[in-house]
Amino acid sequence: MNPSAYNGRFAPSPTGPLHFGSLVCALASFLDARHHQGQWLVRIEDSDPPREIPGATTIILKQLESHGLHWDGDLLYQSQRSDAYEAALAQLHLDGLSYSCDCNRQRVSELGGIYDNRCRQRQVGSDSAIRLKLPEHNSEAIIAFDDLIMGDYRQNLSTEVGDFVIQRRDRLFSYQLAVTVDDQFQNISHIIRGADLLDSTPRQLYLQRCLGASVKQISAMQYAHLPLAINSQGQKLSKQNHAPALMPGEESSNLWLALQWLQQAPPNELRREDHATILSWAVSNWSLAQIPNSAEIPAPETT
């Protein structure tokens, strides 16, 4: 792939079928890529086996295809990328940017979730979690970017996060490490995803820097964080909150409702068309600027 081209991606975890909230993210990223004549890639983030549901990957891919959301190139599976993550960890260790940590979740929770860097003087071992060292000076730990939906966002990693885990005690790679390595590998230029990941973005931008990305490369990356679709109880639509799976045979209605939720103003008559017609209209009329910069929006009652 051309590193300077538009490369977007949708990266589901195989913890269950797609629901309305995940369809919104898939559709928005797909439409933005197609509107800009870019590539749309699908990455299966299957790096946490205890959370995965057997057969979920097959279901997710069939759901994408049945909605006309066809991806470019080969699928990327995080479960097949262990060597790349190990190489990234080795590089960070060589650069003196990582250390072992024996602190458990209860201790970190008692700190308010902001790690106090207690184990910083430890060397990397084989029986502990591994954390990434943040800059000594707070000013160097401030990461800012202009989100295409949410606007200016900044975070002081030292005071708001603390040194964060890049490999868990059970030897599984952290989400932050795996997604950063994969975004570099796939030359991802545009990331459109839910607002629940907004506060993860500064960590990923900082990791990009630690793993050798240039300032120019990092500044060229575009982020757009979508409002969260919530249910009638005010909860984010998620598998944990028992969001219903997308129903087979309802693809046209699902797409129309998702476009309406994304404030794209689809014509009422479009709802009766097939998915190819709906997507053709949506690509031509796509406007990221129409999406409100609110944290959450109620999902349609039918979902």
pLDDT tens digit sequence for 99-112: 999 988 889 889 88
- Annotated ligand binding at 99? The verdict is no
What's the pLDDT at 101?
A: 93
What's the pLDDT at 168?
A: 94
CB 91 within 8 A of CB 132: no
CB 191 within 8 A of CB 221: yes
- Can you identify the CATH homologous superfamily of domain 7-298? HUPs (3.40.50.620)
- Annotated ligand binding at 101? The verdict is yes
- Going by C-alpha positions, the residue among 60, 76, 63, 58 that lies closest to residue 7 is 76
Alpha carbon of 32 to those of 225, 237, 302: distances in Å? 13, 22, 25
Distance of CA 147 to the CA centre of its chain: 14
Question: What span, in angstroms and rounded, lies between the C-alpha atoms of 161 and 145?
Answer: 17
Whole-prediction pTM: 0.93
What's the pLDDT at 164?
A: 96
CB 70 within 8 A of CB 34: no
- Annotated ligand binding at 12? The verdict is yes
CB 213 within 8 A of CB 125: no
Kindly give the parts of the chain with pLDDT less than 70. Answer: 1-4, 123-126, 239, 241-242, 302-303
What's the pLDDT at 207?
A: 97
**Amino acid in position 93:** H
Sheet holding 76-77, edge to edge: 7-10, 39-44, 76-77
Residue carrying the six token digits 């369809």: 23
Helix, coil or strand: residue 264: coil
- Annotated ligand binding at 115? The verdict is yes
- Annotated ligand binding at 119? The verdict is yes
- Annotated ligand binding at 11? The verdict is yes
